Amino acid sequence: MIKTFKFAGLTFAALVLSACGAGEPAEPQPVSVQPSMLEEEWSVEWWGPRHTQKLKDKTRQDIELIFIGDSITHDWEETGGQVWEAFYGHRKAFNLGFAGDRTENVLWRLQNGAVDGLSPKLVVMMIGTNNTGHRMDKATDTITGIKAIVSELQTRLPDTNILLLGPFPRGAQPNQAERILNADINTLLELEGWPDGVHFKDISAEFINPDGTISEFIMPDLLHLSPVGYRLWAAAIEEDVSRLLGDEPYSPVK
C-alpha cells in the first residue's frame, strides 16, 4: 500500500514511490565502454610499445588527418600502403589503427594521450568489428562503445570533424551471424542523432557482390582488405574527406 504524507502543505506519495527503488544496484556498464588495454596473448608484446611509439611520433609531424580503428586501419601501413601514399601521403595523415582493438581499447588509448596536443581537421574512424568477432557483443553495446569514443574525441578535439564509418561487412555469405550483426550495427548507427561535426557513412556496399557474397579478391580472409579493397575504401570516402579537409579531391591517374 502506498502511504501519503503531507508536510508543509505538500504531498509526498511520489517521493515514497521513488525511494522504493533507491537501493537497487545500477545496471553494470557493458565491457565495450570500460577503457582497457588490449591484453590478448598475441598482443601483449607489441600493443603497449606501439601506443608509446605513436605518442612520440605525433609530436614529430604536423597532423591534419587521423585514421582511428582496428587491424583493418592498422594495415594501411602494410597492405594498403601504396593506396595510403596516393590518397593521403600529401595530406599530413597519421594512422592510429591497432590490430585487435575493440571499442574499449580505443577509449583507453584516447584517455592515455593518443590525440592530446593535436588539432587535426578530420578524424576518420571505423571500429566495432572485433566487438562482433571476439565476443558477439549486442549491437547496442557496440554502439554504446562507439558513442563513448565519439564523445571522447569531441571533448579532446573540439574543432575536428569526425567521419564515422560503420563496421565493414565480413564473412563470405550474407546469412552469417557476424555479417548480420555488423549490418545491424550500421542500421542503428544510421538512425542515431549525431551531434554537429560527426558525419556517419556506411560503405558496406562497396565490398559486397550483387548476390550478397564477398570476394576473397577484396577480402582475402573475408575480413581484412586486399590492396584492391583499400582502394575501394579510399575511393568511397574521398568526396567526404576532401570536403571535410577543404582540399581538392584526389583523382587517380588512369
Question: Any idea which residues carry the catalytic annotation?
Answer: 71, 221, 224
Q: How many CA atoms lie within 13 A of 158 on its CB side?
A: 1
Q: What are the cell numbers at 157?
A: 578535439
β-strands 161-165, 198-201: how paired? parallel
Contact 123, 163 (CB under 8 A): yes
What is the spatial distance between Cα 129 and Cα 170, in angstroms, rounded to a whole number? 8
Give the H or E element holding residue 187.
helix 177-191
Burial 72-108 (b: 16+ CB within 10 A, else e): bbbbbeebbeebbeebbeebebbbbbbbbbbbbbbbb
Look up residue 162 and give its three cell numbers: 569526425
